[in-house]
Structure 1
Amino acid sequence: MKFFKLLAAAVLGVLPLLATAQAFPSRTVKIVVPYAAGGGVDVMARVLAERLQRKWGQPVIVENKTGASTIIGASAVAKAAPDGHTLLLTSESTITSNPFLFDKLPYDPVRDLLPVTQLVSLPQMVIAHPSVAARNLDELVALAKAKPNELSYASYGSGSLPHLLFEALKARSGVQLTAVPYKGITPAVTAVMTGEVQLTLAGVSSAQAYLRAGKLKALAVARSQRLPDQPQVPTLREAGFADIDPHESWFGLFVTGGTPVDVVQTLYRDVAEVAADPAFRGQHVLARGFDPVFSTPEAFGQFIQADRTRKAHLIRISGAKAE
């Protein structure tokens, strides 16, 4: 008799969890994107929303909440009901850079935003105008020392990946480089291609066509391994600059802190099923120059911890502060 009472209690304890999982989603799901429509994060959110809506039979909408270095969008999700119906799709700056660039944030990226999955990685490359007489970073440092203040790099804000890399390079090597601000990665790459500036750090997807055409050249890649289609380009670690490697940019999916674990797992499982579709992966990930990741919530959480440590180090030595 005692056994059946214990069994009944166990079943009753599990039923609420099953009901939560089965009921989710029970209404419209909103994916908040803290960037303007049309960019890489936004496009990924809209494709994912369409696939999840098809799977769930519930509306999935994308809402662009831009401004304040992604803080407005992140805060909206942090303050939403913790039931999984409000998601945040953002890049690393929201989670691992902003905490060290701003003295105070209206959200805690650890407590208020739970990781669901790292969607993709965006490998970064140190690129230069073909006129720069350097084939690698050692030669670039030597050139910068020989011609102080003659080399400039394109950045897209204090704390952006190009800013962190080149300011750290200046601090490490004692070279003089001039930072020139641009409104985003595309104008920054264009500025290098046209010779307005000589250097930047750019996503492979942004620079690949120009590299193939000989309008840009790559000096190093910020990635754990060399790129298959650029095998001659060493990683920053191989080049001896592992201590200032900002690593890749990335997009990830988050949910409001306090959301039940079973809902987080449902979200991860359903996104992973979408990602497993070869058509989705080929057309919307690989064709855009992204590396597919689609990690578990646990693996994503560990990755974020490592990235926070790396960003804290680079932001400290670069002296970057929010603009």
Structure 2
Amino acid sequence: MRIRSLTLTAVAALAAVALVGCSSATGSTSGGAGADEAWPAAGTDIEWIVPSAAGAGNDILARIVAPAMQDSLGANIQVVNLEGGSQVVGLSKLASSAPDGTTFGYTNIPSILGRYLDPSKNAPFDRESFLPVGSFATNSVVIGVAANSPYKTIDDLFAAVEDDPGTITAGTDSRAGDDHVNLRILENELDLEFNIVHYNSGADKVAAVMSGEVNFALGGVSSFYGPYKSGDIRLLAIVEDEQSELMPDVPTLSGEGYEVAPMNSRFTLSVPAETPENIRSSLEAALKVAAEDPEVIEKLTNAATVASWMPGAEVAKLWEEREATISPIIDELLQVSP
């Protein structure tokens, strides 16, 4: 149903990090790092856990941001991919790691919500298992089909859904994850009914679209951007009110006459709970330097991601708010198939 209406120098960066770390006096001690000690020591090895496959959107962005953080910290940051269980494997590792600053990783909002609010995933963590470091970028949501799909426009796709409710397949990266939530919002707002198929990762979802295993998929543009640029995927719409400068040929959903609120997610980094504040704030300072580095911004932009800095305290507030909003939707999804 169509609705109308409806680089900073390394010396300067290290000085800033040391100042932030030394000014924090509220953290507890852990792993030999006291609350008033500068952190990290030169050459410290740190792992950035990416709970998805190499080459997926999260991985691409981590490898853009990590070198800049590494320069600021004077540390060695290694990007580690731990995929599996719809990101639960990697997130579990992050939550259970020693709170000593040697491990941090993605806790993207809102996707992490479906990982622990869905009891079937048996996630050994929740929001309080993590301490947000900050968020460096946002990711708009797009709707994509295979290059050889018969659906040339979003009107074509939605008309097919209206003609045969419950038969047009839509891929997600997990059951009760942000893709699933967003598809249900589209169903509710536009009076549509999809046949929703769940995969274990964003990479698997995108591969299913390209192979024709599913008719279309919805998700963050960073996961679709490579196949879009190579011509393997056609993007029918971006769920925003304003058109993307990077994708001038992709219309907005609202511009095509479908009234749906903009959809996006935040690339967020966290450390395990109980990590001392001097360590968390040092990582936050380094992430901020990276997020505001012109070279990093250019690379993020080329990956179809909008650089957007948000400090850890604001991320914590956003996380709590989104959990309160999305929890009832996920509860409803878990009671209804798919």
- Scaled by the length of structure 1, the TM-score of the pair is 0.75
The answer for the alignment partner of 2:62 in structure 1 is 45
The residue number in structure 2 matching 1:291 is 306
Conservation of the 8 A alpha-carbon contact between 1:21 and 1:263: no
* 1:148-180 per-position Cα deviation (integer Å, ceiling 9, x unaligned): 344222333322444333344445555443234
List runs of 5+ in structure 1 lacking aligned partners. Answer: 1-12
Identify the range of structure 1 (165-174 vs 272-281) with the bigger mean alpha-carbon deviation.
Answer: 165-174
Give the deviation of 1:115 after TM superposition.
0.8
Q: What residue in structure 2 maps to residue 258 of structure 1?
A: 274
Aligned residue for 2:329?
314
Deviations along 1:71-111, whole A, 9 cap, x unmatched? 333233323333333212243466322232226531222x2
Q: Give, in whole Å, the separation in 2 of the partners of 1:71 and 1:274.
A: 27
Partner of 1:10: none
Deviation at 1:112, TM superposition (A): 1.8
Q: Name the aligned partner's letter for residue 252 of structure 1.
A: T
Letter matched to residue 275 of structure 1: A
Maintained 8 Å contact 1:159/1:322:
no
| Contact 1:158/1:320 (<8 A) preserved | no
Identical residues among aligned pairs (%): 22
CA 143–295 in structure 1, closer or farther in 2 if over 3 Å, else same: same
Whether the 8 Å contact between 1:114 and 1:254 is mirrored in structure 2 is: yes
- In the alignment, what sits opposite 1:63? 80
* SS in structure 2 at match of 1:62: strand
Give the root-mean-square deviation of aligned CA atoms. Answer: 3.8
Q: Which has the larger radius of gyration?
A: 1
Any conservation in 1 of the 2:170–2:195 contact (CA below 8 Å)? yes
Task: Name the CA shift for 1:233/1:76 in 2 (closer, same or farther; >3 Å).
Answer: same
Deviations 1:260-302 (A, max 9, x none): 333322211111112222112212x111111112211122123
**What residue is the counterpart of 1:4 in the other structure?**
none
Stretches of 4+ aligned residues off by more than 6 angstroms? 212-215, 320-323
Q: Structure 2 unaligned runs (5+)?
A: 1-21, 28-33
Higher RCO structure, 1 or 2 (CA under 8 Å, sep 6+): 2
> Hey, what does 1:105 align to over in structure 2?
123
The 2-side partners of 1:191 and 1:70 are apart by 18
- 1:96-245 equivalent positions in 2, closer than 5 A: 96-102=113-119, 105-109=123-127, 111-128=128-145, 131-132=150-151, 135-136=154-155, 141-170=158-187, 175-182=192-199, 184-186=201-203, 188-189=205-206, 191-192=208-209, 195-208=212-225, 218-223=235-240, 225-228=242-245, 229-230=247-248, 233-235=251-253, 239-242=258-261
Structure 1: how far apart are the matches of 2:211 and 2:160? 20
Q: Go from structure 1 to structure 2 and tell me whether the alpha carbon gap of 1:14 and 1:92 turns closer, same or farther (over 3 Å shift).
A: closer
Deviates more, 1:286-295 or 1:65-74: 65-74
Partner in structure 2 of residue 3 of structure 1: none
Secondary structure class of the residue paired with 1:315:
helix
Residues 187-237 of structure 1 deviation map (CA, whole Å, 9 limit, x = unaligned): 544554565543221333444576678876545423464323438723459
The one-letter code sitting in structure 2 at the alignment partner of 1:178 is N
Deviations 1:111-141 (A, max 9, x none): 22011111222211123466337644xx755
**Deviation at residue 319 of structure 1 after TM alignment:** 3.3
How many residue pairs were aligned?
304
Name which of structure 1's ranges 228-237 and 67-76 shifts more when overlaid on structure 2.
228-237
Question: 1:71, 1:252 → 2: CA distance?
Answer: 16
Contact 2:241 2:252 in 1 (8 A): no
Q: Is the 8 A contact 1:41 1:90 kept in 2?
A: no
